[in-house]
Structure 1
């Protein structure tokens, strides 16, 4: 006789996938995870397939999907729909945006390399302790072809 897979408590599921129990509750609130039934004592008990679902969500997040997008996709799937073409289209859009962002970053890199070269020259021409007005020189510098959008910071999530 085969053993029936058991449900997970919040802490067990969270540890198994490497996230917090708060993240699990957040997933549940957004509809990424179905509402977990509770025990008589109030503990959430996630079904065995929740482990695979959360792993899938974590991987999809790394590809650039948002939690609201995933909630919509998973709702369609849970109702018996096949959102596969939509998912492919969304990923293609994310890939296209990534290519665009990489091109912007490469232009920004070239701009920064030119600025470093110019600033090295300014420093070399100034005496020790003398101001070289590096940041001040930015106001007179040509603006890069693409706007620098603080490329080293992630956007805040709403």
Structure 2
């Protein structure tokens, strides 16, 4: 007989909590499993693989709809991977834009963090947040 998993054991094997399993089942990313005579969900090894796939996709920052598309491609391996390539390229562009934004944010914070003011009245960060230009220190 093939190994089956309860929802808790499935979550543990896939590295997600059981509420995540229920959520993915509810939105259709994870097919509803058969139930035992006692009404408990009984998942098989493919559910573990699918949940790990979803978790890795989420860790890479893909959204639910993107994961859904990737799962459809994975479920039909004879299809060309053009759609997956386009998703990866679009996501990479988004990640690179976020990196650029974060680097700009880091630069601003680096200028504001080294204030050395003795009072909050002349704190560079507070001045910037309050948009006070009367007290802004010019370097």
Q: Quickly name the TM-score band, shorter chain normalised.
A: 0.7 to 0.9
Matched, 1:111 2:97: no
Equivalent of 2:127 in 126, 130, 137: 137
Matches of 2:48 and 2:59, distance apart in 1: 17
Matched, 1:45 2:37: no
**Gaps spanning 5+ residues in structure 2: where?**
134-139
Structure 1 match to 2:10: 13
Write out the 4+ residue segments of structure 1 that deviate beyond 6 Å after TM superposition. none
Matches of 2:10 and 2:80, distance apart in 1: 26
| Greater fraction of residues in helix | 2
Q: TM-score when scaled to structure 1?
A: 0.70
How far 1:78 moved relative to its partner? Answer: 3.6
**Gaps spanning 5+ residues in structure 1: where?**
142-158
Say what the alpha-carbon RMSD is for the aligned residues.
2.3
1:75-154 matches, within 5 Å, as: 75=72, 77-78=74-75, 82=79, 84-117=81-114, 119-120=115-116, 123=117, 126=118, 130-134=119-123, 135-138=125-128, 139-140=131-132
Q: TM-score when scaled to structure 2?
A: 0.78
8 Å contact kept, 1:30–1:67: no
